[in-house]
Structure 1
Amino acid sequence: MSAPRPAPQRSSTIVCVGGGISAIALGARLKSHHNFDDLTLYERDTHLGGTWHANSYPGAACDIPTALYSFSFAQNPEWTVLHPPSGEIKAYVEKVAQDYGLVEKTTFRTEAFRAEWDDKTNRWYVWVRNLDSGDEYVHECKILFSATGLLVDPMIPQIPGQEKFEGAAMHSSRWDHSVSLEGKNVAIIGNGCTAAQIVPAIAPKVKSLTQFIRSKHWIQKAIDIEYTPKIRWFLRNVPLAQRLHRFAVFLAAEWDYRLQGASKYSAKQRAAKMKEVEAYMRSKAPARFHDLLIPDFQIGCKRRIMDPGPGYLESLNNEHVMLTDEKVVELTSNSIRTPTRDYPVDVIVYATGFQTGSFMSPMEVFGRGGESLTEHWSRLGGPGAYNCTALHGFPNFFFILGPNTATGHTSCILASENTVMYALKVAKPILDGYASTVEPKEEAEKAYVKRVQDELQKSNFSKGGCSSWYKSAKDGWNATMYPWSQVHFYYTCKFVKWKDWTTTYTRRRPVSKWLWFGALLALVGGILGYPRL
């Protein structure tokens, strides 16, 4: 039994936990489509922007074309390149937040650590803590959104002797810019997308660079386009040019969905793509590293690395850059020890990714009857949500970029916007004041989650022969990826299946003026008589 709840000190119609891109999409749509701004955002950091505020490591850039990695309602003709650096994206995201007045709606340096649903009041009660003062209080709201993102808390491997190491050590998402790398022996542990951006950025500065790789990745050539002043003028001034450009990039990205399926056609397409990418890897990387780099699993089984030229593979040709797949067994005061040797090290960078699969952690969420999110997902078999968004027994609660919303082929911002559109369609009766609760039916949630997992088990994510953070190493449950195309997700978000939802109305739902207009036309037609065809 939980302790008595303190009286709420703040209240609003909506609380959103998180202040990244998904939260900005929510706030913007509330204002533009619903003329609604009774919203509070809680953000642990000092600025909005989420991953683009947190990640400032050397070489940080977007690996999705920014015509797509931007909001549909705030398309930007001013990008300088197809895959711009993090600073350019951060400035764009902050401008959109300013334009929609979301900075003033945000309480910074504050984390939400507990949320409880109360059936008597039909309200969520959210416990928050100021990270600087330690002060805690309760916020009452009607609707609760989780926009905490998929990749938040760094994953730092536990290595014997870490406390002995006397040099600098940092995770890539917590980069310490006070640490100079000039003339230093630097070690990077990890070899995913982040490491592939850091290595070429710091290689010219360091004395030696040793990368300890844990697994292989398909590394394909990235299309590298500069948006010249003339191109930017064209996109800015010619009607529909920017929208048509975005649509063309969307179609090109969506075409890669074909690599994801279980059909013979998909297998044939993957084989052709693997041949193309392997040829690129062999042409750019030195032969001594080919066996360490080139995978033996299906392309698209886990996230691909996009390699702009000159990029990661070409940087491996530097004599002072070394790759090894030897296991790190221990740290000493000034080295990394493997089974065969000690590597002298002044700086260690952990490019080891993030803790995944927990969603909202360390925040505890309790729905109807005190059931926790953990208990709910234990009954389901693993993390999941109806239409990747909502849970039975957790009324008025919505994920943005929650379970199974990531894609292997296109921009996550599309999924964020689709989810926001869907959640606000469902929550509109509450926003309009004629309903108190909405939640998916239990059988609908179970059926949807099962269908998602069944599809994923047949897909390349499960059958491709790789291990990845997409799925649980314990039982193969994939709580990360969406098994269908983004066009499919847009369709399921655009048209709500109301039969799968339970809505508690507090008064009669007002009839749309267009329904009255249609009824009037029918009446007039009945009186005057329709012409015979």
Structure 2
Amino acid sequence: MGSLDNATPLGHVEFASDGDYSIPDVPMGTARHLKIICIGAGASGLNLAFQVREHMRSVDFVIYEKNKDVGGTWYENRYPGCACDIPAHNYQFSWAENPNWSQFYATSSEICEYLKATSHKYDLRQYIRLQHQVLDCTWEEESGLWNLNIKDEISGQVFSETCHFLINGGGYLNHWKWPSIQGIDTFEGDLVHTANWGEDIDLRGKKVGVIGNGSSGMQVLAAIHPEVEFLVSFSRSPTWVTPNFAGEFAGPDGANFDYSEEKKRELSEDPKKFLEYRKALEKAMTGNFKINLKDSETQKQTQALLKEYMIGVLKEDKLVKHLVPEFGVGCRRPTPGLGYLETLTKPNVRLVTDMISEIVPQGIKVRTGEIIKLDVIVCATGFDYSWIPRFPVTGRNNVTLRALWKNRPTAYFGLAVRDMPNYFVFLGPGSPLSHGSALPTIEAVTKYMLRIIWKAQTESYKSVVPSTEAVTEFIHHNDTFHQKTIWGTKCRSWLKGGKEDGKVLTHPGSRIQNIHCLLNPRYEDWVWTPLAKNRFAFMGNGMTVLEEEGRDVTWYMNDPNIGYEGIFY
């Protein structure tokens, strides 16, 4: 990769000039030197590093990661039972296939090891600076650069860094938070959050309370039940519990299972069969978008089936009353709860649906006045879903991302923000967040970002930002569309900012539609600021880099379909 040193956007030598406008003596397609900084070395950052190296020229690229190793959310989340509810074979990069997953649904530790191994195998570590905390980011209009202040957590040194393009790969499952409960600091036992689990926590023979019944709450409840004396699940809201995603490929009743050595060998030795298997899994998860339309027959059938399933497992009328929702399937993200419902039926497990009044030194006090005495409180209360980074981001005209997103986070296709030039975000608001595995989305978004950057690099644009009009109309379309979806119905969901009637923050359509939308950028939705006085200065000396480098200059004769491949109906 190149360096920023002595970079000249339009070349040193004039090819032609009329005294007012000078044409640089460079061929069309010349890639000016750029620096790209990515924040976060999770799945998004690793994929970006690989694709930049494979497909970009003249780029200086670096990732700043706050943790001691790569892995992102899978590095940070280590609570008992932590696993991905997406089939493992669909939670991998297309360019780093792994036929050797040990189980159908992989644990967090196995996914983290996969990401670590991938970073080593493909030599991506050279771009990563571990234990570096980004403190703030500020756009400088005159230079067309982002200025970052970064702290080296090992040395304590704070230094500044600039870049042409800033990409936030920190993710939305990054900033965990304690629940806002009175007296939380007064508890005399052990208080722990699932996203900040301590390896020294001993639950054996203790009275444990788990607050929350999202995916982490369900997983940790089922995992710790066998070793505790008594277990209390504090769940304020009902939720749909599914046997599992792509459950027809899982074990009996959607259960997890171990892949045999024979199966691993079969998938490893037959790439065609391995691809067919992964495509079938993907189709099972994303091939029926109509389930998300609130009045569809598919939605009604799914509600009936899941209600029957939950009643069959729970059996007790009290549990059924408190756990089976009235809202549709998908309003809150359905949670595959392996063993969760079964755990709630155990004699040493209690479900408490009364609102928590406060946390007291002995345990938790609920609205009825009862104090439930506990040794350990586990907060499975999720993350800060505001999408606002933990560090200040200041864009054009001193607009801050915090101010911009104070009332509602909005982004163009979930990847770019108005008033934030040369800034991209992975899995931002408006991304397909409830549409299956995140990795295909990450790969599609990366291609889109790099196409925008490539255009700016080779056509001499100083900055690019989605227009306010495009973002406004995209959000208008989103809100109107979601009047018809299950996500837009009444329920408390992080897909709506934790509000019952909040605006929906997921893509208005299927994952397939989202990927199609990202294949060919709508450049007309962006505001492009050229480096030169004349926007056609990139055409340079009349030649192209193909001619200069002696490459195939008759490429247009190779395939009559060249130029049509991006068109679909």
CA drift of 1:149 comes to: 0.5
For 2:500 and 2:225, the matched residues in 1 are separated by 39
- Distance in 1 separating the partners of 2:149 and 2:504: 26
Among 171, 194, 197, the residue aligned to 2:193: 171
CA distance in 2, matches of 1:179, 1:31: 42
Closer, same or farther: CA 515–451 of 1 in aligned 2, 3 Å: farther
SS in structure 1 at match of 2:495: coil
Q: Does the CA-based 8 Å contact 1:12-1:40 persist in structure 2?
A: no
The answer on whether the counterparts of 1:382 and 1:479 sit within 8 Å (CA) in structure 2 is: no
Partner of 1:259 in structure 2?
A: 291
Q: Is the 8 A contact 1:126 1:139 kept in 2?
A: yes
Shifted more, 196-205 versus 480-489: the winner is 480-489
- Tell me which residue corresponds to 1:113: 135
Q: Distance in 1 between matches of 2:227 and 2:557?
A: 76
Name the CA shift for 1:156/1:392 in 2 (closer, same or farther; >3 Å): closer
Is 1:346 aligned with 2:375?
yes
Deviation at 1:331, TM superposition (A): 2.6
2:403 and 2:360 map into 1 onto residues whose CA distance is: 42
Matches within 5 A, 1:68-107: 68-107=90-129
The CA deviation string for residues 198-222 of structure 1, in whole angstroms up to 9 with x for no partner, is 1111111000001111111100112
Deviates more, 1:26-35 or 1:85-94: 26-35
Counterpart amino acid of 1:307?
A: G
Query: Is the 1:404–1:478 contact (alpha carbons within 8 Å) kept by the matching residues of 2?
Result: no
Q: What are the residue-to-residue correspondences of 1:49-68 with 2, within 5 Å? A: 49-68=71-90
For residue 418 of structure 1, what is the amino acid of its counterpart?
A: A
**In 1: Cα distance, 2:387 partner to 2:501 partner:** 15
Task: Name the structure 1 match of 2:6.
Answer: none
Q: Decide whether aligned partners of structure 1 residues 479 and 425 sit closer, same or farther in structure 2, where only a CA change above 3 A counts.
A: farther
- Offset of residue 334 of structure 1: 2.3
Percent identity (aligned): 27
In 2, Cα distance between equivalents of 1:31 and 1:516: 25
Distance 1:519 1:192, change over 3 A: closer
Check 1:315–1:35 CA distance in 2 against 1; reply closer, same or farther (3 A cut).
farther
Matched, 1:306 2:349: no
Aligned with 2:398 (options 340, 347, 370)? 370
Q: How far, CA to CA, are the matches of 1:489 and 1:216 in structure 2?
A: 30
Distance 1:58 1:428, change over 3 A: same
The answer to whether 1:517 aligns with 2:539 is no
Q: Give, as a single letter, the amino acid of the residue that structure 1 aligns with 2:74.
A: W
CA contact (8 A) 1:27 1:39 kept: yes
Alignment-mate amino acid for residue 516 of structure 2: Y
Name 1:129's counterpart in structure 2: 151
The Cα shift of 1:377 comes to 4.4
Q: How does 1:44-443 map to 2 (within 5 A)?
A: 44-222=66-244, 223=247, 224-225=250-251, 226-262=258-294, 264=295, 266=296, 268-287=297-316, 288-308=318-338, 311-338=339-366, 339-360=368-389, 362-377=390-405, 382-432=408-458, 434-443=460-469
Q: Per-residue deviation at 1:92?
A: 0.5
Alignment partners' CA distance in 2, 1:323 and 1:197: 15
Q: Which amino acid aligns with 2:511?
A: Q
Q: Which amino acid aligns with 1:254?
A: T
Q: SS at the partner of 2:416? A: coil
**Counterpart AA for 2:554:** F
Q: Is the 8 A contact 1:188 1:212 kept in 2?
A: yes
Give how far 1:441 is off. Answer: 2.9
The amino acid across from 1:211 in the alignment is S
| Distance in 1 between residues matched to 2:53 and 2:280, nearest whole Å | 28
Distance change in 2, residues 1:446/1:159 (3 Å): closer
Partners of 1:55 and 1:209 in 2: how far apart?
21
Structure 2 stretches lacking a partner, 5+ long: 1-32, 252-257, 559-569
Q: Which moved more, 1:44-53 or 1:283-292?
A: 283-292
Q: Give the direction of change, closer, same or farther, for the CA distance of 1:53–1:408 in structure 2 (3 Å limit).
A: same
Instruction: Give a deviation string over 1:248-305, Cα, whole Å, max 9, x none.
Output: 111111134221125x4x2x11111111111111111241411111111111111111
1:482: which partner in 2? 507
Q: Deviations over 1:176-209 (max 9, x none)?
A: 1212111001110111111111111111100000
Where does residue 61 of structure 2 map in the other structure?
39
Which one-letter code corresponds to 2:525 in the other structure? D
Distance in 2, matches of 1:203 and 1:485, equals 37
| 1:48 shift after superposition | 0.9
The change in CA–CA distance for 1:475 and 1:116 in structure 2 (over 3 A counts) is farther
Q: Distance in 2 between matches of 1:492 and 1:16?
A: 23
Relative to structure 1, the CA distance from residue 401 to residue 520 in structure 2 (aligned partners, 3 Å threshold; closer, same or farther) is closer
Cα distance in 2 between the residues matched to 1:172 and 1:505: 48
Pick which of 450-459 and 237-246 moved more: 450-459
Asked if 1 retains the 8 angstrom alpha-carbon contact of 2:151 and 2:158, the reply is yes
Q: TM-score, normalised by structure 1?
A: 0.88
Q: Which runs of no fewer than 5 residues in structure 1 stay unpaired?
A: 1-10, 522-533
Q: Which residue of 2 aligns with 1:452?
A: 478
> Is this contact kept in 1: 2:427–2:433, CA < 8 A?
no
Q: Structure 1: how far apart are the matches of 2:405 and 2:388?
A: 11
AA paired with 2:447? M
Kept after mapping to 1: 8 A contact 2:206/2:229: yes
Query: Normalising to structure 2: TM-score of the pair?
Result: 0.83
Change (3 A) 1:473 1:328: closer
The 1:12–1:475 alpha-carbon spacing in structure 2 relative to 1, beyond 3 Å, is: farther
Following superposition, the deviation at residue 477 of structure 1 comes to: 4.6
In structure 2, the partner of 1:531 is none
The number of equivalent residue pairs is 503
2:17 corresponds to: none
**Structure 1 SS opposite 2:164:** strand
Contact (CA 8 Å) 1:17, 1:42: kept in 2 or not? yes
Structure 1 residue 44: Cα displacement: 1.5
What is the alpha-carbon distance in structure 1 between the residues aligned to residue 497 and residue 105 of structure 2?
31
Counterpart of 1:525 in structure 2 is none
